[in-house]
Amino acid sequence: MQSPASSSSSIPDSALTREELYERIRKSSKQEVVLEEMQRLGFWPQDAARPTVEEQLIRREGELQTALTKLGDELRGIEDRDRALKTMRKERMARARERREETRQRLAQGRHARAVAWHERRQRELLYVGDGVSGGLNDAHSDSQALARNALPALDHAGDLAQAMGIGLGELRFLAWHREVSSVSHYQRFTMPKKSGGERHISAPMPRLKRAQYWVLDNILAKMPVHEAAHGFLPGRSILTNAAPHVGRDVVINLDLKDFFPSIGMRRVRGVFRQLGYSSQVASLLALVCTEAPTDEVQLDGNRYFVARGERVLPQGAPTSPMLTNLLCRRLDARLAASAAKLGFRYTRYADDLTFSAGPEHSRDTARLLWRVKQIVASEGLTVHPDKQQVMRKHRQQHVTGIVVNDKLSVDRDTLRRFRAVLHQAERSGPQGLQWNGNSDVIGALRGYANFIAMTDAARGEPYLQRVRALAAKHEGSRASTTTTSTPSPRKLAEGEFRKQSAAGKAPWPEWWQPAQAPAPVLEKTAEQTAEEKKAQREAARPQPARTGLAQATARAPAPAQPAAGETTQQTAKQALVALSQIGWIASMMLQALYVVSVFLSGSSPLIWLLTGGVAIGNFVQRKSGWLRFIVAIFISSALASLVHSMKN
């Protein structure tokens, strides 16, 4: 075995101090040191394949001497009780620290493994989307046969849905997340006046959510068949097809469903997607995308918050809401159509407007029909509006969804007369200050009603369309000429292009925002790593020793950092305060010295000038003003002087 002193055998004795040489001998033996030096100097062979007996004896003697020294140290430690206890305590604490560090690292590795697994799972799945709406997310098995029968996209879990929509899983989580209080809203809310009076609350989705809803509408909802009595928001059907079956009837009945969209909650919407064949996970996410909770906007500490005040329902303004109502009302339409047919009535529905009509032979059953309709509507979880029930006989004007159906499809005469008056006034005086049905954009409103007339009667509506186009070209063209031309926005898309791109699972514009990915978990550092980092920080903060040579210092020294403007101001203020304090101290010392000298020259009692002079000297040594001590000394010395004077007298 090589002795501890062998590492320093290459160092010549002349380069070692006496204490170092003695320490080297104590660690091995004198003979071993002499042998190493003889081998180093070439007086003893050291490259021999087989060592000599003398060399082996010397090496063995050195090993024994080293072991004996170690045993002596241990024996001295045992004999010294306090030293032994101290050594044992240090060893015990060292072992305890090692065990604690091992336990901490084992627990940290377990936490890190669980965090990594959770992080990886979050990248693949949606496990939680809010309180009260996360039930069923564990079910990710869709009915592939049911989806195939309706030619619907096969989606089993959230990853499939996000991929089909062309968005990331993080964006889908952002759109579907439900919070009772949030600082972000996916809807823009406003009100519109109703023709019948009151206001209609509209919740228009933001582009990000609207993109997802367009995908759901065109790829899922639009592929499902609806009842033939439904005419709202369907291709090939309109208010004309809704009103046509009721032309020339003896009695026409109009009913309105109260709070139609707010009456349909998220559970019913999720049930629609479940009936289509989708898993509970996908159905829940689709229902969350298509619904919202009634929300109040509040201001708190300068921040805006959106507070939910109820369960999630269908928003009026989302592109998916009308088609979802058509699917939800399939059973309602079937029951109402069957009940109406038994009584000889015809039935159609446009959104929340229910219309029934009958000939003269069945018009006497109107009361029975109304009773049955209300019972059926109530059993479906809806309510007939009590103030919007109309029973129109043949002798009065009959209208269905704004179209007169007495003899043929036509527009209301009074409304047409008001339309002509507003159009004539706009042509004469301009559209400024005019309104049409509560809409301040009178040109756009007139254009919409002219299209309505043309849709009802093309020959009658074409002249009005031409007049509205001429009015728009005159006033809107002049307005456009006065505005400053600007560069078109890259987000300005052609009509229908946004929906087309969204339905295809593509971003409407290139710079589509994506949520930031959560960073991967990091394993906790060990105590040794922490200590090494702290040591490196201390080494970096330690000032470097000055280098010799002006050129070397100039070449290697970094350029001095320029202080900031705020730091310069603070330094200047500190210097000014220091200067003022120095001036104040000098003035104080001069005044105190002047007082002591004046008292001395006035011949007053020595107690006064001795005590005040001592205090002044102390203030000068301590470099303090010390006015309080000086004033106290004046009073005390004056009192003592008065006492001494009275005692003498």
Q: In one letter, which amino acid is 493?
A: L
What pLDDT score was predicted for residue 321?
Answer: 95
> What burial letters (b/e) apply to 398-433, b meaning 16+ CB within 10 Å?
bbbbebbbbeebbbeeebeeebeebbeebeeeebee
CB atoms within 10 A of CB 302: 5
In contact, 169 and 176? CB cutoff 8 Å: no
> For the chain, what percentages of helix, strand and coil (3-state, to nearest 5) are there?
55, 10, 35
Rg (alpha carbons) of the chain, rounded to whole number: 48
Q: What is the pLDDT of residue 485?
A: 46
Nearest to 250 by CA among 403, 412, 407: 407
In SS3 terms, 133-164 reads as CCCCCCCCCCCHHHHHHCCCCCCCCHHHHHHH
Beta bridge partners of 252: 357, 392
Contact predicate 293/313, CB 8 Å: yes
Which is it for strands 187-193 and 199-205: parallel, antiparallel or unpaired?
antiparallel
Looking from the CA of 185 toward its CB, the CA atoms found within 13 Å total 19
Q: What number of CA atoms fall less than 13 Å from residue 208's CA on the CB side?
A: 19
Provide the pLDDT for residue 10: 52
Neighbours of 121 (CB within 10 A): 11
**pLDDT value for 49:** 56
Strand partners, 355: 254, 348
- Amino acid 160 reads D
Residue 557: what pLDDT?
47
Query: Any bridge partners for residue 295, and if so which?
Result: 308
Per-residue confidence (pLDDT) for residue 5, from 0 to 100: 44
pLDDT along the chain (649 residues), means of 10: 47 63 73 75 65 69 79 73 83 92 91 89 85 87 93 93 92 92 91 73 92 96 94 90 94 94 93 95 95 92 91 94 95 96 95 94 92 95 92 91 90 88 87 78 85 85 88 70 48 80 88 77 82 85 61 48 53 69 78 79 74 80 78 79 75
Which pLDDT value is given to residue 11?
Answer: 54
Closest Cα partner for 420 from 471, 458, 455? 471
The H-assigned helical ranges of 152-244 are: 158-165, 169-176, 207-219, 239-243
Instruction: Find tokens 């003398």 and name the residue.
Output: 54
Q: What is the maximum span of the chain, computed from C-alpha positions, in angstroms?
A: 144
> What are all long-range contacts of 376-382, with beta carbons under 8 Å and residues at least 24 apart?
376/332, 376/335, 376/336, 376/339, 377/257, 377/332, 377/336, 380/329, 380/331, 380/332, 380/335, 381/263, 381/268, 382/257, 382/258, 382/260, 382/263, 382/332
* Cα–Cα distance measured from residue 510 to residue 504, given in angstroms and rounded to the nearest whole number: 15
Whether the CB-CB separation of 323 and 225 falls below 8 Å is answered with no
Q: Kindly list the distances between the CA atom of residue 243 and the CA atoms of 352, 402, 413, in Å, as whole numbers in the listed order.
A: 14, 9, 17
Q: In this predicted structure, what is the pLDDT of residue 472?
A: 85
- H or E stretch including 487? none
Read off the amino acid at residue 323.
M
- Assigned token pair, 493: 């898309």
What pLDDT score does 455 carry? 86
Residues near 441 by beta carbon (within 8 Å), at least 6 away in sequence = none
* Length of the chain counted residue by residue: 649
